[in-house]
C-alpha cells in the first residue's frame, strides 16, 4: 500500500531573534518528512532577520508584518496563508530532530478524533531535562504541568492524552480551527490552552507523542518582556478562556474559585511589596469586565459546537496537584516579579 504524506505547514513567528530563527531553520533543513512548507512570520524585526532568511533560505515563505502583532497575531497570519492539511505551530527558539514530524502526522492519520498533538520537548541548554510532557486542568482553572524540569522517565515514554498542548511545538488538524485560530485578544500566553479546550469541547482529543523530539530554548522570548506584562496577559487570558470554554455548570463553580484565587494573589503580592504583581492581576480582571459582552458572544459560538460534556473531558484530563505544587509555583512567580 502506498504511503501518503499529507502536507504540513510549519509556522514560525520571529521578532528580533535572528539567530534563534536561523538555527531553527537549519534544523528544519535536515528533516525527513517529504511534504511540507515553511512560513516565517516576521513581526517587524529590526535586526536583519528578514534579509538573512531571504539570503540563507530562499525557499522559505515569509510574511512581513508592519508591526509587532505578538505570538498570536503572527501565528494567525501564518495560519491564514497555510496550505497544508496539518499546521505545525513551532517556536523560533527550537531545534528539531530530523524525524520529529512523522510520529505527529501518523497520530493524526491513525486517530480521526485527535485534533492536536504535541512533541516531547527537551530543554536546549540542559538536554537531559524536559520542558514539558503534559498539562492538566485543575479545579482552580490553573494548569498542572507534568514533566517540567524532570528527567526522561519511563512514564514519559508513552503516548498520553493531555488537556493542553505546549505551543512550542504542536501539530493541529486544520478542521479544529473552524471556529477560528488563536484568540486575537490574547497577544501572547495561554493561547494554546484556549485553543485546546475549544478542541475538546468540539469533540477532539489532545495528546502528547513521545516519539517526536525537539529542543527548546526555554524562556528566550519572555526574557525580552517585563514580568508585569507577562503576568497581566497570562491572568487576563486565563480568565477569558474559562468564560468562553467552560460549560455553564462548570462556569458557576470554576470562575468564582479562580477569581477568589486571583484576589488572594493580589493581597499576597501587596503584602510582599510586589505592587506590580497585584496591579497586573487587577488590570487583568478589569479588562475581562470591560469586554465581558464580547467574550460572552464568543462563548456562545464555542458552546454551539459542543459535542462532549465538561464532565467527560475532566474525567480524562483534570488532575489536582498537592498544595506544594501551588507553593512552588507561587515562589517562581515572586522570583520573576522581583527581577
State pLDDT tens for residues 223-240.
Answer: 444 578 888 999 999 999
The percent helix, strand, coil of the chain (3-state, each to 5) is 45, 20, 30
The pLDDT confidence band at residue 62, using thresholds 50, 70 and 90, is: very high
What number is the average pLDDT over the span 255-281?
Answer: 92
The pLDDT confidence band at residue 339, using thresholds 50, 70 and 90, is: very low
Q: Distance between CA atoms of 280 and 231, rounded to whole angstroms?
A: 6
Look-up of cell digits 478524533:
113
pLDDT tens for 273-309 read: 889 889 999 999 999 999 999 999 999 999 999 999 9
Of 35-39, 297-301, 309-313, 323-327, least confident by mean pLDDT is 323-327
User: Helix or strand or coil: residue 184?
Assistant: coil
The pLDDT confidence band at residue 328, using thresholds 50, 70 and 90, is: low
Q: Which of 3, 68, 55 is nearest to 25 (CA)?
A: 55
Pure H helices in 89-211: 101-110, 191-201
pLDDT tens for 179-190 read: 999 999 998 889
Q: Are 167 and 89 in contact (CB under 8 A)?
A: yes
pLDDT, mean over the chain: 92
Amino acid at each position: 500500500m502506498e504511503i501518503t504524506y499529507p502536507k504540513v505547514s510549519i509556522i514560525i513567528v520571529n521578532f528580533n531573534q535572528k539567530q534563534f530563527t536561523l538555527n531553527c531553520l537549519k534544523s528544519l533543513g535536515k528533516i525527513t518528512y517529504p511534504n511540507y512548507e515553511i512560513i516565517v512570520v516576521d513581526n517587524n524585526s529590526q535586526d536583519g532577520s528578514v534579509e538573512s532568511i531571504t539570503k540563507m533560505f530562499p525557499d522559505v515563505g515569509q510574511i512581513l508584518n508592519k508591526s509587532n502583532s505578538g505570538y498570536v497575531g503572527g501565528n494567525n497570519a501564518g495560519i491564514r496563508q497555510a496550505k497544508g492539511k496539518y499546521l505545525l505551530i513551532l517556536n523560533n527558539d527550537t531545534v528539531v530532530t530530523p524525524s520529529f514530524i512523522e510520529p505527529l502526522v501518523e497520530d493524526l492519520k491513525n486517530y480521526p478524533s485527535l485534533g492536536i498533538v504535541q512533541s516531547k520537548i527537551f530543554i536546549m541548554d540542559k538536554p537531559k531535562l524536559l520542558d514539558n510532557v503534559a498539562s492538566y486542568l485543575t479545579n482552580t482553572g490553573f494548569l498542572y504541568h507534568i514533566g517540567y524540569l524532570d528527567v526522561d522517565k519511563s512514564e514519559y515514554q508513552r503516548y498520553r492524552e493531555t488537556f493542553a498542548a505546549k505551543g512550542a511545538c504542536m501539530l493541529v488538524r486544520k478542521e479544529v480551527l473552524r471556529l477560528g485560530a488563536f484568540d486575537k485578544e490574547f497577544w501572547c500566553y495561554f493561547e494554546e490552552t484556549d485553543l485546546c479546550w475549544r478542541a475538546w469541547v468540539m469533540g477532539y482529543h489532545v495528546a502528547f507523542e513521545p516519539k517526536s523530539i525537539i529542543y527548546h530554548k526555554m524562556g528566550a522570548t519572555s526574557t525580552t518582556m517585563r514580568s508585569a506584562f507577562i503576568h497581566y496577559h497570562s491572568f487576563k487570558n486565563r480568565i477569558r478562556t474559562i468564560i468562553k470554554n467552560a460549560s455553564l455548570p462548570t462556569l458557576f463553580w470554576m470562575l468564582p474559585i479562580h477569581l477568589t484565587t486571583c484576589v488572594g494573589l493580589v493581597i499576597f503580592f501587596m503584602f510582599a511589596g510586589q505592587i506590580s504583581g497585584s496591579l497586573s492581576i487587577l488590570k487583568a480582571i478589569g479588562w475581562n469586565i470591560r469586554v465581558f459582552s464580547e467574550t460572552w458572544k464568543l462563548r456562545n459560538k464555542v458552546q454551539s459546537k459542543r459535542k462532549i460534556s465538561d464532565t467527560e473531558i475532566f474525567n480524562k484530563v483534570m488532575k489536582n496537584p498537592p498544595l506544594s505544587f501551588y507553593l512552588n509555583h507561587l515562589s517562581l512567580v515572586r522570583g520573576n516579579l522581583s527581577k
